[in-house]
Structure 1
């Protein structure tokens, strides 16, 4: 096999640079992001393209256009920032997902044969979670002098499907019901 070698212009290669300070974060869109324990900000670097079919959609809408949008790599890469105690509810993807803390300590939990278990990751530690495994992550601590930790996430596929655990669906529903009730009380 011979790989075709290309020699792009510098400007073309620089389209593949994403500077964190230039990324736009999104803190709404996913069903659990309104829960106090799930407040987080998602910074899309690469991938996570909008689904094209009528049966699938992105809850983020157009707010998560990747910073590097011209390459089709077969995976998505993003940063997540969260305060200690915040993360994501238990969910599964139809693709594998990997995590590496950049700042702070993070816990990754999953549902296994023996029940829910997990691992604590320090900066630059890495975990790859297989396809179909219910998983969640949570910031345990931020670096000294900072209010949030930063996690780097890589997910295979460019439009992965998510399925929330039954417990996550119930918690999201309870929060939505409480929010609806509070709105009704304010309106009356």
Structure 2
């Protein structure tokens, strides 16, 4: 693969194209300043305005959320895995029917593998614009977003209606549901009863990993963060590893499925048979399947990177809230 061909599979942080109308809460006060990014795969955006940087199927999706201070993403659920790591800022993640069952604050580099099938939300509690990177299981990311009823109801008061087809319509712009398409129904009480209310003690030990713990674990070899044998033991359809200067590799390594490199700290040199590229924090690189490459920091100082590769496991829930086989 030539350097030009490989560069087309690199999304630079400065080239990310945001969508400010990606979801049903885009006009709801408190959530109306968030930006959504779809880096790899179709993502779960409900807006026709969403730009997709790399549409090649990987077995998972890569996205990002950028938000100013005090801006939040409303309560929702997914049918497949949703993993976040904090690239910039300080973030509070909360969950439960009303967002009060539990919460955790994540700092830069921390990662959370939010359990499938619970309502979750997040907000930037830092002092500056923040960014979190996301990995969603499956090529179709589980078919979209399931919103808590109050989110749909609140959005209607601000002009946005979500159709049963998963698309948004802005009544303030004169848009209406197409003929034959009804509004997305809200979950009823019986359906809501199936959503668990795990406490902070249920979630944090099994689904949250701290940056400096991972940095220590990856001192000599890459640390598996999320995987069947990972620090956060799960089988969400992809494996996430953490690499530091001490665990980078000079030999050429290839994977049978596309692998994604996402630097957290420092600049990284990726070298393959026909060329090389340098990545900075916030960049995302997709290396094609069976392309062998080496990976090493290109400068002195702290260096860390998240590595994601699909597995043969189903993209749905395979582990329960205690971290054991479901």
- The two structures have a TM-score, normalised by structure 2, of 0.45
1:93 aligns to 2:87 (yes or no): no
Per-residue deviation, residues 112-165 of structure 1 (Å, max 9, x unmatched): 8xx5211000010000112212111111113xxx4x111111111233321101
1:156 aligns to 2:137 (yes or no): yes
CA contact (8 A) 1:108 1:135 kept: yes
1:25 aligns to 2:18 (yes or no): yes
Question: Where does 1:136-155 land on structure 2 (aligned, <5 Å)?
Answer: 136-142=121-127, 146=128, 148-155=129-136
CA distance in 2, matches of 1:49, 1:28: 14
| Cα-Cα RMSD | 2.5
The correspondence for 1:60, drawn from 47, 58, 82, is: 47
Show the counterpart of 1:48.
42
The structure in which a higher percent of residues are strand is 2
Unaligned runs of 5+ in 2: 161-169, 173-326
Aligned length: 159
Show the counterpart of 2:150.
167
CA distance in 2, matches of 1:65, 1:99: 20
CA distance in 1, matches of 2:6, 2:72: 34
- The two structures have a TM-score, normalised by structure 1, of 0.75
Deviation (angstroms), 1:60:
1.4
Show the counterpart of 2:68.
83
The structure in which a higher percent of residues are helix is 1
CA distance in 2, matches of 1:65, 1:24: 7
1:36 aligns to 2:17 (yes or no): no
Larger Rg: 2
CA contact (8 A) 1:49 1:65 kept: no
Higher relative contact order (CA 8 A, sep 6+): 1
Unaligned runs of 5+ in 1: 1-7, 51-57, 182-188
